[in-house]
Amino acid sequence: MADENEVIVVGSGAGGGMMAHTLTDAGVNVLLLEAGRRYDAETDAAMFQLPMEAPLRGEGTPDKNDGYFDANIGGYEMPGQPYTLSGGKFRWWRSRQLGGRTHHFGRQVPRYGPEDFKVHTMTGREIDWPFSYDDIEPYYDRVETIIGLFGPDPDKAVYNSPQSPNHIRQEPPAPRASEMLFAKACEKMGIKTMAHPTAILTSPLNGREACFYATNCIRGCSIGAAFDSVTAYIKPAEETGKLSIITGAVAYKVLTDDSGKRATGIRYIDTETGEHREVFAKFVVLAPGSMESARILLNSKSEKAPDGLANSSGMVGKYISDTMFTSLWIHIPQLDYAPPHNEDGVSQPHIYAPWWLHGEEKEKDGADFSGGYKLEVDPYRGGRFGPPSMKATFGIMLHGRKGLYGDKLKDHMRRYYGSLLGIRTLGGMSVNENCYLTIDPDVKDKWGIPVPKFHWQWSDEDYRRGVHMNKTLHELAKNMGATVVRDAFDESRKAGKFVETGGETNHEIGGCRMGTSPKNSVLNQYSQTWDVDNLYVADGAPFVTHVEKNPTLTIMAMSMRAADNIIERLKENNL
């Protein structure tokens, strides 16, 4: 156990776990605060259980919104921990267990590309990050060496979608039948497909076993094949003897000295007793999730910081964003009456199509929006996280059909189980000033802490991107020989111009963005706050732009880079 806390880390997910791992590996004493309980996939994951073994047959509860089998405690709605809206539609997902969302996320870990960090320089839109791809590339390599991932041969990479070098990446699993149809259809459209970078082992690594494709990864992985923060980061950090952990610790305020320019510790609530406690250290790192980091800083008011800590720019809580999402349910007659066979693989697409339009090609196409989107087809013959349920498959295909019993019902099931699929796009978002959070002056949680109030507004550019995404999906469906059964985007348009709910893709980032000046940003390039010298933010809050790539790998790479900065300062006694 650590004798003296040199660094307090709030949050134990992708960013917090990586921070603790990097610091303790360098001999730094770390105290980790986690709002939820202990969670170890090796013992806690419901990996092989059947629905009949689960409470309520696996249905959701207030403690586990997504059901018994999802390796997440928490969700959009948590008893006694509300949030409010001041405009638009937004939902805030929270995880309350050691390891955070890393137990149940999709494990998709693409790298951001060179253009993603220099959007303004390349396109004249939005703003640039304060560092380049060349600066973060070594950290991508280091993170991937720890977490393990499969992916395509780097020689097959397309523009602005760099891939992992061969000495790091593992071989991807083979495409499924539906994915081969998807790839052939994309080829007709001039779109290149490849294996999707995914943090799941196909070969053993660091004492973890290779995946044997037995169950859904969102249940958690008891053999450690699917990356999670506890298995890859926190357990090795504990083995150093340099890590102490307090669970059930809801951090709500950063403590500072009289000058207000140095953080001295964290004030938190003990969820078991309801007591307010304080802990102290030389450095403080916030990594509880981007929205929570912004909330903590805004609630850390003082005489020296009347608008919230590290908020002299007025930028804390501003420019939040989420990944755009559109999808189609399609029926492919070619796959009707598919014989039962095991093509489970990992619970993510084995292949995908990274964004393909850039420069002159993009202008010629008329795609008038920043960034782009990627294309995917649902694995598992219809269900992203496992074989499609009766409700998912036949709730759609039985629409308008009545009187199917006995042999007719069995025939119907045999026909459509395997020929009903989802195709989807995940796109960037144009970060804008109309998406932000503040502190609600009237509403508090069950511990008396003011809650966040969200405001959300998609931009016209987002709408243009969404229309383009939807159009491409329809063209893809046609080239797959499919008919469209359901179009979620059409339902959105019926209710208004574009009403997709922010936060529902669970890629919410921003709120403490980094930059080159304390006048227009909260953090410098090392995720260090401009206003408070020894305070860092190491989750998704520092993000500047929101592109079509999943953010988790970049969160971890930036956290490692921030950790290196702290380690160097400790060595030099630069406090």
> What was the pLDDT predicted at 1?
41
> What was the pLDDT predicted at 24?
98
The Cα–Cα gap between 203 and 207 comes to 11
Check: CB of residue 91 under 8 Å from CB of residue 507. Answer: no
> Measuring CA to CA, which residue among 403, 459, 431 is closest to residue 318?
431
Q: Binning pLDDT at 50, 70 and 90, where does residue 383 land? A: very low
| Cα dihedral 276/282/287/292 (nearest 10) | 40
The C-alpha angle 412, 418, 419, rounded to 5 degrees, equals 75
Check: CB of residue 485 under 8 Å from CB of residue 265. Answer: no
E strands, 300-383, in order: 324-331, 351-352, 373-377
> What was the pLDDT predicted at 2?
45
This prediction has a pTM of 0.95
Beta-strand pair 243-246/420-427 = unpaired
Residue 332's alpha-carbon distances to 106, 387, 478, in angstroms, are 25, 17, 10
The Cα–Cα gap between 390 and 324 comes to 28
The Cα–Cα gap between 294 and 312 comes to 14
Q: Which residues contact 64 (CB under 8 A, 6 or more apart)?
A: 70, 72, 73, 74, 75
**Percentage above 90 pLDDT, the chain:** 78
Q: What is the pLDDT of residues 333-364, one digit of tens each?
A: 999 998 877 777 898 899 999 999 999 999 99
Q: What is the pLDDT of residues 43-83, one digit of tens each?
A: 999 888 887 888 887 788 888 998 888 999 999 999 999 99
Which residues sit opposite 324 in a β-bridge?
427
> What was the pLDDT predicted at 401?
57
The Cα–Cα gap between 388 and 374 comes to 23
Q: What is the pLDDT of residues 408-435, one digit of tens each?
A: 778 877 888 778 888 999 999 999 999 9
> Measuring CA to CA, which residue among 117, 106, 307 is closest to residue 218?
106
Residue 171 has pLDDT above 60, yes or no: yes
Domains of the chain are 1-40+108-148+227-322+509-575 (3.50.50.60), 153-226+324-427+459-499 (3.30.410)
CA 195 to centroid of chain Cα atoms: 19
Owner of token pair 């804390």: 316
Q: Binning pLDDT at 50, 70 and 90, where does residue 289 land? A: very high
Q: What is the pLDDT of residues 511-537, one digit of tens each?
A: 999 999 999 999 999 999 999 999 999
Q: What is the pLDDT of residues 443-467, one digit of tens each?
A: 999 999 999 999 999 999 999 999 9
Q: Which residues contact 510 (CB under 8 A, 6 or more apart)?
A: 290, 318, 319, 320, 321, 431, 435, 540, 541, 543, 546
Owner of token pair 């199509």: 353
Residue 486 burial class via C-beta count within 10 angstroms: exposed 0-12, middle 13-18, buried 19 and up: middle
Q: What is the pLDDT of residues 29-43, one digit of tens each?
A: 999 999 999 999 999
Tally the residues of the chain.
575
> What was the pLDDT predicted at 174?
93
pLDDT, the chain, mean: 92
Q: Is 505 helix (H, G, I), strand (E, B) or coil?
A: coil
Check: CB of residue 283 under 8 Å from CB of residue 35. Answer: no
Of 237 and 342, the structure prediction assigns the larger pLDDT to 237
Q: Is 535 helix (H, G, I), strand (E, B) or coil?
A: strand
